[in-house]
Amino acid sequence: MQTARLGTQELHEFMQAHSIPGEILHLDVLTPTVQSAAQAVNASEEQIIKSILFLIDGRPVLVIACGTSTIGRRPIADLFQVGKKRIKLASPESVLEISGYEVGAMPPFGHRQSLTTLIDRKVLDLSTAYAGGGAENALLRLNPQDILRVTGAKVLDLLE
């Protein structure tokens, strides 16, 4: 069964419905990497945040961290009281099916289903961040505190 993709319009509608200030920037270039995204919006690589979907025994968990950092599996494993090997990176097909968005375009909220969300503490140090904007040529500019408010994310030190 082909899963309908969500895009910038659905993200915009979600933001309006939940009173999320922020702006979806439609860019002339694709932003598949942290480096290309930072260049496209003239921001530091630290300001680019990534939304990564993990499966823990098949259950989706969204992890949000600064783009240049490496997410450690140990803090996630400890939180869910499982071994590190039970934490798997979701496949691109699973990401699309679960979130509605493609890898590289996935925003930190507004997914097809409500996701358990973890956010690295360092993300909240930023006053402005850029996240997936629902398309490969779109970025969402926002205050990370709004991610916390909308998702109810658990704040952790998630980096290796």
Predicted confidence at residue 160, as pLDDT, reads 84
pLDDT computed for residue 120 by the predictor: 97
State pLDDT tens for residues 30-72: 988 889 999 999 999 999 999 999 999 999 999 999 988 999 9
Quick one: average pLDDT of 110-138?
A: 96
CATH T-level assignment (fold) for domain 8-156:
YbaK protein (3.90.960)
Bridge-based pairing state of the strands 59-66 and 87-89? unpaired
Cα 47 to Cα 34: distance, rounded to the nearest angstrom: 9
- Whole-model pTM: value is 0.94
77: confidence class by pLDDT, cuts 50, 70, 90: very high
Quote the CA–CA distance of 23 and 133 in Å, as a whole number.
Answer: 9
Residue given tokens 């922020």 in the structure block: 22
